Amino acid sequence: MKENAKHTPGTWFITPDTTNKNGDYAVWTDDSPFSIATVHGSGNSQALANAALIAAAPDLLAACELVLKNGYRMPCQGQDDGDKIIMRDLAAAIAKAKGK
């Protein structure tokens, strides 16, 4: 992960939120004594999936930036402009992740 990232650095992980008995999940990093986010959902599988997506966000952002930077090429199932579409979508996802 980039050192100049504006989001909380480090690997993010999930734990059950022990501050209440609602079955919520908390997203943490080793670098902070405070959770990054709490996902409410009474411990259901959708809440856990949402927490997992939040925890994966820094890794997904780094992977997208790497692909965009290196111009990674992949088969696009016959789309002439497939690479341009992929790169446009990656750029949009990166911008959204960075709050732009």
pTM of the model: 0.73
The parts of the chain modelled with pLDDT lower than 70 are: 1-5, 43, 72-80, 82, 99
pLDDT tens-place string over residues 60-87 = 888 888 888 877 666 655 555 767 777 8
DSSP per-residue codes, 34-68: S-SEEE-STT-HHHHHHHHHHHHHHHHHHHHHHHH
Q: Where are the domains of the chain?
A: 12-97
Which structure tokens are listed for 100?
């732009």
